[in-house]
Chains A and B, each alone.
Chain A
Amino acid sequence: MSTAVSSTKTHVSTQINAENVEFLCEPRQSLLEALRDVLFLTGTKEGCNNGNCGACSVIMNGRLVNSCVVMAAEAEGAEITTIEGIATNGHLHPLQTSFLENAALQCGICTPGFIVAAKALLDRNPNPSEDEIRLWLAGNLCRCTGYDKIIRAVQDVAGGPNGE
């Protein structure tokens, strides 16, 4: 990424992980850049930076999105959940526990995106079939696991209490 700086900064009021947040960003910055470089929420990862890999998945206004193809200024008035907002009060979300227990990660770069994407699925459909899980997560790429362990980790939580 180039480091060109716009002459003016944009003020954004938003809600991130249930807290009101205000920040200044350059108009050219993506939501991913604002999360990582302005707000230092570095749990959201940059993978492909072009909407293919899902490493930068966040939930925006109840919808799973790739934060690399959302402009930071679009966060104005939005409600955003990042990987930092998945655990509550220091307790891992059941999905996070399940990923650990199922060894559903190796290098870990894709893991925050998978967990956020899986959370978005279970919020919408608490008991998805294996096909539904695989289709939902098809926009999240993992080059280590071969996916089966990830699918099993989500299946283990699906139909359960989901910790909500």
Chain B
Amino acid sequence: MKAIDYASPRTLAEAVALLAEGNGQARVLAGGTDVIVQVREGMRDLDLLVDVKNIPEVNELSYDSEQGLVLGAAVPCCQVCEDPEVSAAYPGIIDAASLVGGTAIQNRASLGGNLCNGSPAADTIPPLIVHHAICRIMGPGGQRELPVEQFCAGPGRTVLEPGEILVSFHIPAPSSTFGAHYLRFIPRNEMDIAVVGTGSSVLLDDAGTTFVSGRVALGAVAPTPLLVEEASQLLSGSPVNDETIKRVAAAARRAARPISDIRGTVEQRKHLSAVLTRRTLKKAIARAKGDSA
């Protein structure tokens, strides 16, 4: 690996200063499972890694049934998955957090790192989007907030300005008639990168017969993870039945604008977008009705 410096600040202000001074040649180190490999393999040209694991705000994990979830950007997947309250309240996020890499990767990799890495195929981004997660960002100019679906700018690129750091996600508390699910298609059983990943969420009325609202987000079918706007419009106020699900699945297929590459073709990915939308919606509905599986 090229010569590179390492810093381990204790406060957000110090981290922001180091990143700002780095002028684009400094990058945050959380779990390191992407960034260390990228520096070693010459995919990112950096002078400084800023380890944020000693900064309290970036490592916060707290859930309140009214305030919702504060998920620090550097909290490793294992800690999220092992938290009984978070697992019970957000099974749709656990679906994704529990399948990022193997044991050793989950012990380091964070959802914040997954987002900042900016991969269109990142597993945890579609579920964050359908849970209406908000990014809290700190920078030289102060703090700002941004919905997760607006964070990625292209493959490997985000909207973070030099000196800015993703501090945490803020995710609303799920109401009793909310449900969500994430699925990906891979040609193996485990340990692979999504050909397509799909997150769905629904909010049902008290009778469980009408969608109050809903979201579908797709991964690996565009330069960035994609919120399917048409799906939200179709779900809102529609009856909970196969016809609605079919129309939303067709909308997901239309929204997908994938490329053909080593993992799949355009046609396969468009097809999978519809299939996974149908499957995740059905499971999200079941969860919204109290099926805890």
Chain A residues packing against B (C-beta within 8 Å): 1-2, 4-6, 10, 26-30, 49-51, 54, 57, 63-66, 68-71, 73-74, 76, 117, 120-121, 135-140
Which of A30, A74, A137 lies in contact with B51, CB distance below 8 A?
A: A74
Smallest CB-CB separation from B37: which chain A residue? A50
| B-chain residues with CB within 8 Å of residue A68 when the two chains form the complex | 36
B35-53 vs A: 1/0 string, CB under 8 Å? 0110011000000010101
- Shortest C-beta distance, B239 to chain A (Å), equals 39
Q: How far is the CA of A68 from the CA of B33 in the complex (A)?
A: 9
- Take A30-B36, A76-B8, A138-B190 as given contacts and tell me if A4 and B2 are in contact as well, using a CB distance cutoff of 8 Å: yes
With both chains docked as a complex, state the minimum distance between the C-beta of A134 and any C-beta of chain B, in angstroms. Answer: 9
Judged by DSSP, the binding face of A is mixed
Instruction: Please state if A64 and B107 are interface contacts (CB–CB under 8 Å).
Output: yes
Residues of B within 8 A of A121 (CB): 103
* One of B3, B102, B108, B190 near A70 (C-beta < 8 A): B108
| A76 to B51 Cα, complex, angstroms | 12
User: Which bucket holds chain B's interface residue count?
Assistant: 20 to 34
Q: Is the CB of A54 within 8 A of B4?
A: no
Task: Assess the A139–B51 pair: CB atoms within 8 A.
Answer: no
- Can you sample 22 A-B contacts with CB below 8 Å? A1-B40, A5-B3, A6-B5, A26-B3, A27-B5, A28-B1, A29-B1, A50-B37, A51-B33, A51-B104, A54-B102, A57-B104, A63-B108, A64-B104, A71-B29, A71-B32, A71-B51, A74-B32, A74-B51, A138-B190, A139-B102, A139-B191
Among the listed A5, A10, A49, which residue makes an inter-chain contact with B6, where contact means beta carbons less than 8 Å apart? A10
- List the 6 closest A-B pairs by CB distance, nearest first: A139-B102, A27-B6, A63-B107, A4-B3, A6-B3, A73-B6
